[in-house]
Structure 1
Amino acid sequence: MDSKTSTLQSEPRSEIALAPKVSGSLGQDMPHGEDHKSPGPYMRDVILGFSDGLTVPFALTAGLSSLGSAKLVILGGLAELFSGAISMGLGGLLAALTERSHYFAEEQRERDEVRDTPQLEREEIYVLMEEYDVGRDAITPFVDALAANEDKWVQFMMDFELKMEKVEKKQAWISAGALAGSYFAGGLIPMIPYFALKNVTDALFVSIGVTVLMLLIFGFVKNKKTVGTTRAGFKGAAQTLVTGVLAAGASYGIVRALDSRNPVYA
C-alpha cells in the first residue's frame, strides 16, 4: 500500500507489563509495572514557546540597546513580543488543524482498503510484526481477532503502520495557547530591566544576568523533567545557555555594525 506518513510522529505508548492493575491517567484500570517519564501532551509546546521567547526578544532588545535609546528598545521589544506570540500561536493552531485533517484523510483511506482489500491489509500486519521477529503462526490468532472489528482494525493500522495520532480541536486550541502564552512569558522576562532602569547600558547588563539565569534554570528543568536525570538537566542548561548567548551576541553585533554605518539617534 502506498500511503503517506505523518509529519508528526505519535507519542510513544506505554509498555504493558505483567503486573497488578493500577489506575490509568484516563481513569481506566491498566496493568503497569514500570515508571515511565511522561512530559505531558503540551510540554513540547511550552518548551518551544518559552525557549524561543527567552532567546528571540532578548536577542532583539540586546541588539537595539546598542543604539542607546531606551524607548526604541521597549517599543521594538514589545512589538516583537506581541507579533511573535501571535505568530507562534497561529502557527501552532494551523499545524494542529492540518495534522487533524491529514489524520482523517488517511483514516478514510485505511477504512476503504480494509473493506476493499482485506487480504492485503492482513498481509501488512504480518509484515509489521516481522520487524519484531514475530512469526505468522504466532500472530495469526491476533490478526483474525482484529479483522473481526473494522474500527479496531483501522485504528491499529493508524497507530502502528502510519504512526499517526488524532488531534482533537480542543487540543489544537490549547496547543496554540500554550505556544503563544509561553512565548510571551519567556520574552517578557528579559525586557523587565528596561522598564525599571533609565540607563540602557545598565538595563542591558541586568537583562543579560536575568536571562542567563533563566536560560540555565529553564534548560535544567526542561531536561530534568523530560529525561529524568540530573546529568541531563545540566546538559540541557548548557545547551540552552549557549543557544541564547549566540543568538543575542549575533543580534547585538549585527545591529552595532549596521548602526556604525548609518547612526540612529533617539
Structure 2
Amino acid sequence: MTHLTNETSPLLQVEPAIERSISYQSNHTPYDVRPLHPQQCKHEECHLDYSDILRDIIIGFSDGLTVPFALTAGLSSLGSAKVVIIAGLAELFSGMISMGLGAYLAAVTERDAYHSQEGKKTFAVQYMPADERTGVYDVLEKYSVSRGAAAPLVDELCKNPQEWVRFMMDFELKLEKPNVHRAWISAVTMGLSYFIGGLIPMIPYFVMDRVREALFVSIGITVAVLLVFGYVKNYVAIRNHRAGVWGAVQTLVKPSPSPETLRIALQFSPNKPRNDFPWRHASKRRLRDF
C-alpha cells in the first residue's frame, strides 16, 4: 500500500473539495462585512428600511449642520446674541418643516407611481398575457437563461397572476414596493435630523455672552461634528475604518450653504453692501442706510 502515498500519485494533485470550501469561506474579507443574525431580519426588507432611514438621517443632519450655521455665522457680525438666536431658531423650525414636508411628498409620490405602474402591469397580464410572457423570457435572457431552460419556470410563474405581476415589477421595471408607513417615517426622520443638526452649532450662542467667541466655538463644534458624522455614517454602512475616514473628509469638504442662505447672511452684515451680490447690482446702500 506504499504506492498510494507516493508524492507522484495523481490523487494528491487534486485539492479536496472540503478544503476548498473552507478556504473560500475565510473570515478575512476586505471590508469586514458581518452578516446579520437570521433572527434580526426575516427578509431583506429590514435592510431596505434601514438604508432608507439612514439616507434620510444623512440628508437631514448634514443640511441642518450647514445651513443654520451659515446663517448664524453671518448674523453674528451684528454682535447681538438675541438676534442670532431668534433668526437661527426661525430658520431651524422653517427648515425642519420644509425638509419633513419634502420627504413626505417625495415618499407619497414614489408610492403613487409604484401603484400606477402596478395597475398598468396587472392590466397587461390580464388582457395581453402573450406579450407579458415574452417579457418574462426577455428578463431571463439577460441572465443568460435560454428559452428552453426557462420554459418550465415561466409556465409555473404565469399560473399565479399576482406573482407574475410582482416578478415583472421587480425585474422588468425594477421598482421596489414602498412601505405603507414610509411617507411619515421619512418625514419625521428627516425633519428631526435637520433640527438636531441645526441646533448643535447654535449651542454656544445660548451659553456664551460674547457673540464673537461663540462664533469661533460654533465653528469648531461644527467641524468636529461633521468629521464624526461623516466617519460614523460610512462606517455603519460599509463597516470599514478606511471608508469611515474618507466619509469624514468628504462630509467636511462637500457640504456648502445654499445661495439664499448666503444672501440673507450677507444682507444683514454691516461690513457688506446690502444688495452688492454677483446676481444683483441695483443698490449699493449699506445696512446703516436701510
Report Cα offsets for 1:133-173 as digits up to 9, x if no partner.
22212222111111000110111111111121222332211
The equivalent of 1:12 in structure 2 is none
Q: Which amino acid aligns with 1:168?
A: N
* Higher alpha-carbon deviation: 209-218 or 124-133: 124-133
Sort the Cα spacing of 1:170 and 1:186 in 2 relative to 1 into closer, same or farther, 3 A: same
The equivalent of 2:66 in structure 1 is 55
User: Distance between the aligned counterparts of 2:224 and 2:245, measured in 1?
Assistant: 13
Sort the Cα spacing of 1:243 and 1:251 in 2 relative to 1 into closer, same or farther, 3 A: farther
The equivalent of 1:221 in structure 2 is 232
Gaps of 5+ in 1: 1-21, 31-35
The answer on 1:160 being equivalent to 2:171 is yes
The equivalent of 2:150 in structure 1 is 139
User: Distance between the aligned counterparts of 1:38 and 1:234, measured in 2?
Assistant: 25
The equivalent of 2:140 in structure 1 is 129
Contact 1:146 1:153 in 2 (8 A): yes
Contact 1:103 1:166 in 2 (8 A): yes
The answer on 1:238 being equivalent to 2:253 is no
The equivalent of 1:74 in structure 2 is 85
Q: Which structure is higher in RCO with an 8 Å CA cutoff and minimum separation 6?
A: 1
Sort the Cα spacing of 1:91 and 1:38 in 2 relative to 1 into closer, same or farther, 3 A: closer
Equivalent position SS for 1:166: coil
Contact 1:93 1:172 in 2 (8 A): yes
Larger radius of gyration: 2
Report Cα offsets for 1:219-241 as digits up to 9, x if no partner.
00011111221111111101111
User: Distance between the aligned counterparts of 1:23 and 1:157, measured in 2?
Assistant: 28
The answer on 1:23 being equivalent to 2:38 is yes
Sort the Cα spacing of 1:40 and 1:248 in 2 relative to 1 into closer, same or farther, 3 A: closer
RMSD: 2.7
The equivalent of 2:192 in structure 1 is 181
Alpha-carbon distance, 1:114 to partner: 0.4
Contact 1:63 1:248 in 2 (8 A): no
- Normalised TM-score (structure 1): 0.81
Equivalent position SS for 2:257: helix
Q: Percent identity?
A: 52
Contact 1:97 1:169 in 2 (8 A): no
The equivalent of 1:100 in structure 2 is 111
User: Distance between the aligned counterparts of 2:181 and 2:48, measured in 1?
Assistant: 24
User: Distance between the aligned counterparts of 1:147 and 1:190, measured in 2?
Assistant: 58
User: Distance between the aligned counterparts of 1:132 and 1:24, measured in 2?
Assistant: 31
Alpha-carbon distance, 1:40 to partner: 3.5
Contact 1:38 1:226 in 2 (8 A): no
Gaps of 5+ in 2: 1-36, 277-284
Alpha-carbon distance, 1:37 to partner: 10
Q: Which amino acid aligns with 2:68?
A: P
Sort the Cα spacing of 1:58 and 1:89 in 2 relative to 1 into closer, same or farther, 3 A: same
The answer on 1:113 being equivalent to 2:124 is yes
User: Distance between the aligned counterparts of 1:206 and 1:258, measured in 2?
Assistant: 27
Instruction: Figure out how many residues of one structure are paired with residues of the other and give that number.
Output: 237
Sort the Cα spacing of 1:215 and 1:258 in 2 relative to 1 into closer, same or farther, 3 A: farther
